[in-house]
Amino acid sequence: GAVVSQHPSRVICKSGTSVKIECRSLDFQATTMFWYRQFPKQSLMLMATSNEGSKATYEQGVEKDKFLINHASLTLSTLTVTSAHPEDSSFYICSARYLGSYEQYFGPGTRLTVT
């Protein structure tokens, strides 16, 4: 149980375009979802926390207008990287938790490459 999927697993886009990454909880209701960014050989950097039906809370230094997060349902959150640039290339990981759970359940990640 507690499976989280991400789509796509890999995406290549051109500079200036936008790309959407989906995060789904497959067998539970995700009251809270988290979006992380991971640079090569580094730890996870929390970008934002989103509660279903509410606006996401962004961490300091993360541009809200560039990284649009939507958590419209209890099973789906999306991260849209707008006007992507090569420096946005990274590994993006989402996680989710349900009400009362101690842990977060992680998606498999999305490798974004901006050319």
Partner 1 sequence: AQSVAQPEDQVNVAEGNPLTVKCTYSVSGNPYLFWYVQYPNRGLQFLLKYITGDNLVKGSYGFEAEFNKSQTSFHLKKPSALVSDSALYFCAVRDDSNYQLIWGAGTKLIIKP
Nearest to 42, CA basis, from 96, 94, 93: 93
Cβ distance to partner 1 smaller for residue 87 or 103? 103
Cβ distance to partner 1 smaller for residue 11 or 46? 46
Q: Which of 34, 77, 79, 81 binds partner 1 (CB under 8 A)?
A: 34
| Span of 12-20, 67-75, 77-85, 105-113 interacting with partner 1 by CB under 8 A | 105-113
Nearest distance from residue 77's CB to partner 1, in Å? Answer: 15
| Residues 6+ positions from 21 with CB-CB distance below 8 Å | 6, 7, 8, 11, 78, 79, 80, 81, 92, 94, 110, 112
> Considering the rule CB under 8 A, would residue 58 count as an interface residue with partner 1?
no
CA pair distance 64, 78, nearest whole angstrom:
13
